[in-house]
Amino acid sequence: MQTELNIVILAAGKGTRMVSDLPKVLHPLAGKPLLFHVVDTARKLNPSRLLVVYGHGGDALPNAFAQRGPTSPHGSKEIIWVQQEQQLGTGHALQQTLPDLNENGFTLVLFGDVPLISEETLRALLNIKPGEVGLLTVTLPDPAGYGRIVRDAQGRVKAIVEHKDASDAERAILEINTGIMALPTRELKQWLATLRNDNAQGEYYLTDVVALAVKDGKTVSTCHPCRQSEVLGVNGAAQLAQLERLYQHEIAASLMEQGVRLTDPARIDVRGELTCGRDVAIDANCIFEGRVDLGDNVTVGANCILRDVSVATGTRIAPFSLIEQAQIGADGRIGPFARIRPGTVLAAEVHIGNFVELKNSQVDCGSKINHLSYVGDTTVGKNVNIGAGTITCNYDGVNKHRTVIEDDAFVGSDTQLVAPVTVGRGATIGAGSTITKDAPADELTLSRSAQVTVKGWKQRARNIKRRRG
């Protein structure tokens, strides 16, 4: 590969068949826009210049990258944005980049709607001699709609003919052009200057430079992708869904090669980065978003969603739990039907049970919140038991306040802790209490009125329809 490498990603198309106001290349695949996938792969090749040609959608593309921040791996740093105001073909799109191309070495052309292309395939394509042209081609049983690779009697590439311009004999060719190519930049500039649009589409085809290269005596080398799925593009929602399943299948296969036990490899979605330790088991219909780390011997039950979460060794997450932006300690028990919201940190051996919601709370070792409770903006000490139906009332309508429950405290069921408030070490809160003042350590605190029976009280009459027997 040459030292100097320009990479140009063509992403100016409207994507009419997506039937969406969102530019096609910003539609998500595995939780990440199509174009982000291509840019990430391109950066692995360490190009001297990385250019993205955009058009439809205005500044939506550069803005999407800018929102990731300058330090993000998907940020806009070092991307040269080139606008194609009129969409007059792929050759015209590349013409817009000419002032920004480094003339030494090669220019690699990629497409923003072909997200599965791999670094391995591209390195093979770039394994050409100075001055040569490299084409990525595949052979299809039904090549309708694709440009055909036309070879001479010796099998050498002499041209690419688009389907609409092809003769019957050329349409019988099964080898097609993927559009991905590597071209010597100095010569590319000359070839682009001579392109014509006298074809069925009235466009300037980048593929026409192949015939120009042959005319100039250049060798045109071809190679095939490692997997044919790498060159599949997205034109509509159905194709996007097809690529999603292909991508998820590859992720599932990779996880199982690492020893992860998947109940059903067809029913897992990784929309980010998932890392797993040894003896991890994941049940069906789980979704992992952002960065998720699962330690050794972690079990994730069916229908769970984990988003930007780390889970330490030995923890079991029961079905239908939602955990986001949280840290889960070792040997814990979560769920079923638990919701753990951002800012929550659970230490080792913590139990969070069914229909419990935590937000921005820290729970220390051995504590249990097993049933039907909301604990928000709270610091919970060691070996605390919080009974069913407990609520920390953290919001006064204007500001959030914090609750502190110290080590070994016992909070009875159906308790409201009105923040800011502290429950002291070893304190017991009687069931059914509303606590508005600090509860002292090692004491029983409760707030209940005496039970009263009102004699003679009658319910208001209700309109009840009775069944006939």
Active site residues: 371
Give the Cα separation of 210 and 238 in Å (integer). Answer: 32
Phi, psi of 47 (to 5 degrees): -70, 150
Distance (Å) of CA 462 to CA 65, 140, 399, 459, 469 = 61, 74, 42, 8, 20
- Which DSSP category does 252 fall into? H
Find the helix or strand (DSSP H, E) in which 239 lies.
helix 237-257
Nearest to 339 by CA among 305, 365, 310, 301: 305
Instruction: Enter the tokens of residue 96.
Output: 């817009």
Give the Cα separation of 283 and 266 in Å (integer). Answer: 11
Find the helix or strand (DSSP H, E) in which 373 lies.
none
Nearest to 174 by CA among 145, 140, 150: 140
The DSSP code sequence of 165-185 is G--HHHHT--EEEEEEEEEEH
Tokens 């391109």 -> residue: 42
